[in-house]
C-alpha cells in the first residue's frame, strides 16, 4: 500500500501530538510540520525526523491530506487553501470562527469530492462509542466539562473551547432540532466567558443541562443520561461507562412496596441495585487512545472517500448551537443588565467574601 503523504499545520500544544501519532503510522509519511513560529516548527520536526515549514502554502501539491491544528481564527484560511487544491482536511474543533466560514469549507470539500472531518474527539472516546451502540432515547441529560485555566485558546471562550464538545455529543445522541436555549455565564478574567451553564430543550422533548468551566481546579468531564430504557453515565477522563436498567422482575411485577412486611422493606435499600435495578460497568478496552482513533478514522476516510463520523456539517451544527448558547448568554440579564458575560467586577458595597490574602510573588528575572 502506498503511504499517504500527510502534514500537520500548527504544531503547538495539540498539533504536536497529531504529528507524533501520524509519524508512527506505518501507512503514512509525515512529509512536514508547519508552524508560523519557526522555532516551534523546527523543534517538532527535529523530534519526528521530518521537515519544518513556516508557510503552509509550501506544502500544497506535496501532500495527500492535512491536519489543521492552528488557533480557531486560522482554521478557515488554512483548510480552504488545501480543500481548493483537492486535499482532504481534518480540522480541529470548533470547525471555524463563523458559520459562513464553515459553510465555505463544506462547499469546497463537496466541490473537490474529498473528506472534511472535524476534531470532535469525544466521539472517539470508547465510552461514548459503547453508549451510541445501545438503544437509548434520552429524556434528560446532564453534561459537565470543567478544567483549569491553561492560558490557551483565549481567542475563544468556554462555549467554543469546551462546551462545544458536549453540544456535538448531544446532537449525535439526541438528534436536533433544539427548540429553546437559555444560558448564564461569567467572565472571571475578562474578555470571553470562562464559565457557562446552558439549558437546551430539544424538539423531541429531551432537556439537557450543560455546564462548562475553564477555571476549575480539578478536571471533570462527564455525561449523565436518563431515559425510559435506563440510565447511562460516562466519565470521559477514565473512559468508563455505567449503565443501569430495570430488572426483568421489576418490569413484570413492579416493586409492590405496599405489600411488603417490615423486614422486606428494611432489605429494600440493599436490594434496589441488583435485584430491581441492574448495573453494568464497562471499562475502555481498546489499544488506541482517542486521538489515534480519530486520526486512523480520517486516514480510512481519505483512502476510501467515505464520509467521516464527524463531518464538516456536524462541525457546523455544533458551531450553530454554540452560537445560540452565546446569544442566550448575551440576553441573560445579570443584575438587570443584559450585557453578556461579565469580567472582574469592582468590589461591591457588600465588600469581600473574606479579607484578601497576601500572596508571595516570584521575583522578576
Ligand atoms: N479536540 C480537542 O479536544 C482540542 C483540545 C485542544 C485544542 N483544540 C483545538 O486545536 C487548535 C489548536 O489549539 P492548541 O491548544 O494546540 O493551540 P496552540 O496555541 O498551543 O497551538 C497553535 C499553533 O499554531 C501555530 N499557528 C498559528 N497560526 C498559524 C498559521 N497560520 N499557520 C501555521 N501555524 C500557525 C502557533 O504558532 C501555535 O504553535 C484550536 O482550534 C483548539 O480549539 C482541540
pLDDT digits (tens, 9 = 90+) for 74-118: 999 999 999 999 999 999 999 999 999 999 999 999 999 999 999
**Mean pLDDT of all residues in the chain?**
92
Nearest to 189 by CA among 346, 353, 344: 344
Say whether pLDDT at 11 is over 90.
yes
Q: What percent of the chain has pLDDT over 90?
A: 74
Nearest to 30 by CA among 5, 65, 66: 5
**Cα–ligand 1 centroid distance for 301 (angstroms):** 23
What number of residues does the chain have?
Answer: 365
Ligand 1 atom, smallest distance to 120 CA: 1
Say whether pLDDT at 1 is over 80.
no
Q: Is the CB of 56 under 6 A from ligand 1?
A: yes
**Which residue is it, cell 504536536?**
16
What is the Cα–Cα distance from 122 to 171, expressed in whole angstroms? Answer: 13
Question: For the chain, which domains are there?
Answer: 4-122+289-310 (3.40.50.720), 124-283 (3.30.360.10)
Say whether pLDDT at 365 is over 60.
no
Q: What is the DSSP string of 131-187?
A: HHTS---EEEEEEEEE----S-STTS-HIIIIIHHHHHHHHHHT-S-EEEEEEEEE-
Q: Is the CB of 69 under 6 A from ligand 1?
A: yes
Q: Is the CB of 123 under 6 A from ligand 1?
A: no
Sheet holding 138-146, edge to edge: 178-186, 195-202, 207-213, 138-146, 220-227, 230-235, 240-246, 277-283
Nearest residue by C-alpha to atom 40 in ligand 1: 71
Cell of 260: 411488603
Ligand 1 atom, smallest distance to 74 CA: 31
* Residues paired with 116 in a beta bridge: 89
Q: Is the CB of 72 under 6 A from ligand 1?
A: yes
Q: Is the CB of 70 under 6 A from ligand 1?
A: yes
Ligand 1 atom, smallest distance to 161 CA: 43
Q: Who contacts 306 (Cβ-Cβ below 8 Å, separation ≥6)? A: 115, 300
Using one digit for the tens of pLDDT, what is the confidence trace for 111-168?
999 999 999 999 999 999 999 999 999 999 999 999 998 888 777 889 999 999 999 9
**Ligand 1 site-directed mutation target among 45, 92, 294, most atoms within 8 Å of CB:** 92
Q: Is the CB of 121 under 6 A from ligand 1?
A: yes
**Cα–ligand 1 centroid distance for 44 (angstroms):** 14
Nearest to 51 by CA among 29, 69, 75, 73: 29
Segment 278-284 mean pLDDT:
89
Nearest residue by C-alpha to atom 37 in ligand 1: 37
Contact assessment for residue 214 and residue 162, using Cβ atoms and an 8 Å cutoff: yes
- Phi-psi domain of 12 (left: phi exceeds 0; alpha: psi -120 through 50; beta: other): beta
Ligand 1 atom, smallest distance to 75 CA: 41
Nearest residue by C-alpha to atom 33 in ligand 1: 35
Using one digit for the tens of pLDDT, what is the confidence trace for 59-71?
999 999 999 999 9
**Cα–ligand 1 centroid distance for 15 (angstroms):** 6
Q: What is the CA angle 19-219-200, rounded to 5?
A: 95
Q: Is the dihedral of CA 69, 97, 149, 36 positive or negative?
A: positive
What is the Cα–Cα distance from 306 to 114, expressed in whole angstroms? Answer: 9
Burial of 131 (0-12, 13-18, 19+ CB in 10 A): buried
Q: In a 3-state reduction of DSSP, which class is residue 123?
A: helix
Q: Is the CB of 95 under 6 A from ligand 1?
A: no
The whole-model pTM stands at 0.93
Sheet holding 116-119, edge to edge: 51-53, 28-34, 4-9, 65-68, 89-92, 116-119
What is the Cα–Cα distance from 98 to 73, expressed in whole angstroms? Answer: 9
Ligand 1 atom, smallest distance to 35 CA: 34
Segment 4-19 mean pLDDT:
98
Q: Where does the pLDDT of residue 342 fall: very low under 50, low under 70, confident under 90, or very high at 90 and above?
A: low
Q: Where does the pLDDT of residue 258 fall: very low under 50, low under 70, confident under 90, or very high at 90 and above?
A: confident
Q: Is the CB of 119 under 6 A from ligand 1?
A: yes
Q: Is the CB of 150 under 6 A from ligand 1?
A: no
- For 52, other C-beta atoms within 10 Å of its C-beta total 19
320 vs 128, 152, 199, 226, CA distance in Å? 22, 23, 15, 25
**Cα–ligand 1 centroid distance for 141 (angstroms):** 30
Amino acid at each position: 500500500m502506498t503511504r499517504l503523504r500527510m502534514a500537520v499545520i500548527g504544531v503547538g500544544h495539540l498539533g504536536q501530538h497529531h504529528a507524533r501519532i501520524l509519524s508512527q503510522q506505518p501507512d503514512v509519511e509525515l512529509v512536514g510540520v508547519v508552524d508560523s513560529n519557526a522555532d516551534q516548527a523546527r523543534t517538532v520536526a527535529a523530534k519526528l525526523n521530518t521537515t519544518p515549514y513556516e508557510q503552509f502554502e509550501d506544502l500544497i501539491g506535496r501532500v495527500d491530506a492535512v491536519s489543521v491544528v492552528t488557533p480557531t481564527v486560522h482554521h478557515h484560511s488554512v483548510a480552504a487553501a488545501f480543500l481548493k487544491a483537492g486535499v482532504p482536511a481534518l480540522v480541529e474543533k470548533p470547525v471555524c470562527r463563523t458559520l459562513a466560514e464553515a459553510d465555505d469549507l463544506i462547499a469546497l470539500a463537496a466541490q473537490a469530492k474529498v473528506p472534511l472531518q472535524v476534531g470532535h474527539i469525544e466521539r472517539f472516546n470508547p465510552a461514548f462509542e459503547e453508549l451510541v451502540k445501545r438503544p437509548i432515547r434520552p429524556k434528560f441529560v446532564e453534561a459537565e466539562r470543567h478544567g483549569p485555566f491553561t492560558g490557551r485558546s483565549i481567542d475563544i471562550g468556554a462555549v467554543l473551547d469546551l462546551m462545544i464538545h458536549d453540544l456535538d455529543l448531544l446532537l449525535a445522541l439526541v438528534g436536533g432540532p433544539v427548540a429553546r436555549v437559555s444560558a448564564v455565564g461569567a467572565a472571571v478574567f475578562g474578555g470571553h466567558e470562562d464559565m457557562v451553564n446552558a439549558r437546551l430543550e430539544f424538539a423531541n422533548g429531551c432537556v439537557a443541562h450543560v455546564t462548562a468551566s475553564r477555571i476549575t481546579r480539578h478536571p471533570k468531564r462527564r455525561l449523565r443520561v436518563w431515559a425510559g430504557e435506563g440510565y447511562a453515565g460516562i466519565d470521559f477522563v477514565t473512559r468508563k461507562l455505567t449503565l443501569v436498567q430495570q430488572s426483568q422482575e421489576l418490569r413484570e411485577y413492579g416493586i409492590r412496596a405496599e405489600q411488603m412486611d417490615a423486614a422486606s422493606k428494611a432489605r429494600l435499600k440493599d436490594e434496589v441495585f441488583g435485584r430491581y435495578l441492574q448495573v453494568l460497568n464497562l471499562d475502555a478496552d481498546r489499544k488506541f487512545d482517542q486521538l489515534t482513533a480519530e486520526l486512523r478514522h480520517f486516514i480510512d476516510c481519505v483512502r476510501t472517500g467515505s464520509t467521516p463520523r464527524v463531518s464538516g456539517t456536524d462541525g457546523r451544527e455544533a458551531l450553530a448551537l454554540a452560537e445560540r448558547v452565546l446569544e442566550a448568554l448575551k440576553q441573560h440579564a445579570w443584575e438587570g443588565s443584559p450585557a453578556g458575560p461579565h469580567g472582574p467586577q469592582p468590589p461591591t458595597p457588600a465588600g469581600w467574601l473574606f479579607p484578601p490574602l497576601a500572596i508571595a510573588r516570584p521575583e522578576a528575572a
